[in-house]
Amino acid sequence: MKKNRINNWDDALASIEKVEASPYLITRVRQRINNDAVMTKAQAWGIALSFSLVFAVNIFAFTTLNKSTEVASEKTGFEYLLPQNNLY
């Protein structure tokens, strides 16, 4: 059974014709490899915009986080004044 399948695959592969490559294919490949412009202007602007957006979000988060920790520290400063001693 397995040899029959293998023979069918061999027959199918033998019937496929090889495709000729374009005569200028290797020159196009070499040109893309040697191309100095690794990044286009649009890609560079996109990356710069992404970093700026991440930077702005970080600044917003740090300023908001600092304000909320100041409020929390004020609340924890007066906890010892409560008359009851409930832990839960």
Q: Per residue in 43-80, pLDDT tens?
A: 999 999 999 999 999 999 888 876 655 555 555 555 55
The two three-digit tokens of residue 54, written as one number: 């991440």
Structural domain contains residue 57: yes
Tally of structural domains, the chain = 1
**Domain ranges, residue 60:** 2-81
70 within some domain: yes
Element (H, E) at 49: helix 41-77
Q: What is the DSSP letter of 85?
A: -
Is 68 inside a domain boundary? Answer: yes
Q: For residue 38, is it within any domain?
A: yes
pLDDT of residue 58: 92
User: Which residue in the block uniquely carries the two structure tokens 């409560």?
Assistant: 82
Domain contains 37: yes
pTM: 0.40
